[in-house]
Amino acid sequence: YREWQTKKVRTTCPHCATGCQYDLVVKDNKIVDVIAADGPSNHGKLCVKGRSGSFDFVHSPDRIKYPLIKNKKTGEFERASWDEALDLVASKFMEIKKKYGSDSLAGFACSRSPNEDVYMVQKMVRTCFGTNNTDNCARVCHSASVAGLAMTLGSGAMTNPIYDITHDVDAILLVGSNPEEAHPVVGMQIRQAVQNGTKLIVVDPRDIGLTKYADIHLKIEPGTNIAFANGMMHIMIEENLIDKKFVEERTEGFEELAEIVKDYTPEKVAKICHIEKERLIEAARMYATANKAPIIYCLGVTEHSEGTRGVMSMSNMAMLCGKLGREGCGVNPLRGQNNVQGACDMGAMPTDFPGYQKVKNPDVVKKFEEAWGVELSKEPGIHATDVFPAAIEGKIKGLYIYGEDPVVTDADTTHIIKALKSLDFFVIQELFMTETAQLADVILPGMSYAEKEGTFSNTERRVQRVRKAVDLTQNPEFDIRLDTDIIIDLMNRMGYPQKQMTSAEIMDEIASLTPSFAGISHERLDSEECAKNALQWPCTSKDHPGTPIMHVGKFSRGLGWLYPTEYTPSKELPDEEYPLFLMTGRILYHYTTRAMTGRTPGLMEIEGKSFIEMNEQDADRLGIKDGELVKASSRRGTIQTTARVGTKVSPGETWMPFHFPDGNCNWLTNAALDPFCRIPEYKVCAIKVEKI
């Protein structure tokens, strides 16, 4: 590119939580290309989503370009001025609050938007709505990690950096994670590590790309993670492979755990998981005897009705083998969306203020009351997945959603639509007319990551800058505003005197109230010091270097808790009427609802339609051929999709991506919730498939 024709803006990829760094190449206020940068998590690599899917959506003609209010009589959206839209939103929310109380309102923040935006959303919900009913979409992906790791280790985040767990390690235990598709740059680094001699154990009901490089693939039955982990720990204890010194000095609960796993003999576990006991024994020995061996996991562990206990099982294995608090080890959830870690860190959680400071702690509430100058609710709010049933019951009357699309992403679509239609008033701040936005009363147009300043926190707790590359307010077709300005304006219209703030000033307020972010500022992130290696929280003072590895010498909770847990089957299993397991997940070419990647024609040409993977034996029995249209049904709904017949999944099992509106698998999935973190059981439900 000729320098005089273009500018380059260093920023962070807006798709997955790997947090790859790249330069947006801008010509005449339009992004024309993406060039990989040497970031701490990507080292010059990018995947197809980052490379091709990062800018078409910014300039898409489908963008919502001005505020819209639904005409109650016609059901059509009509253009409104900002004053009309914001006055209506503020007055309606305050009317509901007056009539039904603060807890009849709820507001979700966006896990794809910058930390500063999320902070302002939860501040608005807490100060103006007067409730802790705030959440983000971590609720449906990694809330089990936040809860499970916090309970066992004291902090609900990835323990080690990506580079550390993918370079120079002896073995990797990869559980319920398909990084080559969901976190491709991490996947590339794992593949390179294996090619350089690292042993790989894949635990997954499905063949994934990395399976062919694995030393061991335990193709367990869906929903049996806890039995698998208990079996591993049974072997480690029986064969004296555990780190006794670490267990004695740094953990509690060993006796109770040993008592539980005593029953999980290799024979019993092999039967539950449908695997060979010899391979389980081999896996336990390989992991336990390796010096540097991280556990890397993803939604295959968390998205179960026992997801939190599944996460605790990962912690248990690592603690038993002394593989925490040191290089090349740890328990490492690969977080999903670009800023889902940050959305939790920023307090978009019903139980926690920013920095995981508890709503139940009176000193914490007092601190925020003093800083924000209003009385705050002392009661934890309800989780996002409980907001929908509460709306159907009439307990939640008003909902504000900032950049989420639960109609596509949440389990049991029928019940989500019913819930949204039950609301008295529903507002969404969005880039596109999503399936969820269509049900709103007011739509406020949002701005994309390329139009604003801010920060994203990637999966390894690294806070990285997002920088403004283009300004679409110069385009006469657009009447849009900065998202934080919209929220600040709304707060004032609802009676809270929120002063105008830039993104950098918002980060300064976050740092002043959040000990783990105390040393983080835009100024510091923009400095030479952070040019190569942005800060990883906890970063507790202006001269703190950040914390690459957590739990060194001591767990955040003091002693690590070896949490004993029994295997219990998933809430809905195949039966005569619905004889097949359904699992769900992501593919390489799209991100979540494909609201962004779906605007890149090249990606849609490669993968543009829903499909269902079936085993060839089941397909033969049902008379279904590869590529044929089929009908898939569960107790909750029926969809049409296309069969992909092969051996990726075992007989009796099926798998679908959730990105596509035609035949979205979430019409079928089960909203059975985990008792600790309220995550739905996306990964296991029972369906039938029929030839059309």
Question: What span, in angstroms and rounded, lies between the C-alpha atoms of 501 and 497?
Answer: 12
Give whichever of 49 and 309 is closer to ligand SF4, judged by the CB atom: 49
Q: What SS3 string covers 373-432? A: CCCCCCCCCCCHHHHHHHHHCCCCCEEEEECCCHHHHCCCHHHHHHHHHHCCEEEEEECC
Question: What span, in angstroms and rounded, lies between the C-alpha atoms of 551 and 553?
Answer: 6
Shortest approach of ligand SF4 to residue 449 CB, angstroms?
11
| Residue facing ligand SF4 at closest CB distance | 50
Tell me the one-letter amino acid at 582. Answer: L
Question: What span, in angstroms and rounded, lies between the C-alpha atoms of 570 and 205?
Answer: 14
Give whichever of 16 and 220 is closer to ligand SF4, judged by the CB atom: 16
Shortest approach of ligand SF4 to residue 509 CB, angstroms?
27
Shortest approach of ligand SF4 to residue 33 CB, angstroms?
14
Shortest approach of ligand SF4 to residue 13 CB, angstroms?
3
Helical axes 225-238 vs 307-320, angle rounded to 10°: 20
Give whichever of 50 and 637 is closer to ligand SF4, judged by the CB atom: 50
The phi and psi torsions of 296 (rounded to 5 degrees) equal -120, 130
Q: Residue 476, Cβ neighbours under 10 Å: how many?
A: 7
Tell me the one-letter amino acid at 575. Answer: D
Shortest approach of ligand SF4 to residue 187 CB, angstroms?
8
The encoded tokens of residue 273 equal 């998981």
Shortest approach of ligand SF4 to residue 344 CB, angstroms?
18
Question: What span, in angstroms and rounded, lies between the C-alpha atoms of 658 and 231?
Answer: 31
Shortest approach of ligand SF4 to residue 20 CB, angstroms?
3
Give whichever of 19 and 446 is closer to ligand SF4, judged by the CB atom: 19
Give whichever of 15 and 142 is closer to ligand SF4, judged by the CB atom: 15
Give whichever of 13 and 387 is closer to ligand SF4, judged by the CB atom: 13
Residues constituting the chain: 692
The phi and psi torsions of 209 (rounded to 5 degrees) equal -55, -40
Give whichever of 334 and 408 is closer to ligand SF4, judged by the CB atom: 334
Rg (CA), the chain: 24
Question: What span, in angstroms and rounded, lies between the C-alpha atoms of 173 and 215?
Answer: 11
Give whichever of 459 and 650 is closer to ligand SF4, judged by the CB atom: 459
Give whichever of 47 and 671 is closer to ligand SF4, judged by the CB atom: 47
Contact 408, 434 (CB under 8 A): yes
Contact 201, 295 (CB under 8 A): no
Q: Is 39 left (phi over 0), alpha (psi -120 to 50) or beta?
A: beta
Give whichever of 42 and 305 is closer to ligand SF4, judged by the CB atom: 42
Q: Which helix (H) or strand (E) holds 509?
A: helix 503-513
Give whichever of 50 and 445 is closer to ligand SF4, judged by the CB atom: 50
Cα distance from N-terminal residue to C-terminal residue, the chain: 52
Contact 459, 42 (CB under 8 A): no
Give whichever of 368 and 591 is closer to ligand SF4, judged by the CB atom: 591
Question: What span, in angstroms and rounded, lies between the C-alpha atoms of 678 and 581?
Answer: 22
Distances in whole angstroms, Cα of residue 68 to Cα of each of 193, 448, 479, 524: 51, 18, 11, 39
Shortest approach of ligand SF4 to residue 532 CB, angstroms?
17
Shortest approach of ligand SF4 to residue 246 CB, angstroms?
33
Give whichever of 193 and 284 is closer to ligand SF4, judged by the CB atom: 193
Please say whether the dihedral angle defined by the alpha carbons of residues 652, 589, 40 and 535, taken in this order, is positive or negative: negative
Q: How far is CA 476 from the centre of its chain?
A: 35
Shortest approach of ligand SF4 to residue 268 CB, angstroms?
39
Shortest approach of ligand SF4 to residue 683 CB, angstroms?
21
Q: Note the helical H segments in 125-276.
A: 143-152, 162-166, 179-182, 184-195, 225-238, 244-250, 254-261, 266-273
Shortest approach of ligand SF4 to residue 16 CB, angstroms?
3
Instruction: Give CA angle at 356 (353, 357), nearest 5°.
Output: 60
Give whichever of 153 and 596 is closer to ligand SF4, judged by the CB atom: 596
Contact 457, 463 (CB under 8 A): yes
Give whichever of 223 and 333 is closer to ligand SF4, judged by the CB atom: 333
Shortest approach of ligand SF4 to residue 462 CB, angstroms?
12
Shortest approach of ligand SF4 to residue 332 CB, angstroms?
15
Q: Which helix (H) or strand (E) holds 333?
A: strand 331-333
The encoded tokens of residue 526 equal 């923009």
Binding residues (CB under 6 A) for ligand SF4: these are: 13, 15-16, 18-20, 42, 46-47, 49-50, 183-185
Question: What span, in angstroms and rounded, lies between the C-alpha atoms of 688 and 692?
Answer: 13
Shortest approach of ligand SF4 to residue 273 CB, angstroms?
30
Question: What span, in angstroms and rounded, lies between the C-alpha atoms of 372 and 47?
Answer: 42
Q: How far is CA 678 from the centre of its chain?
A: 14
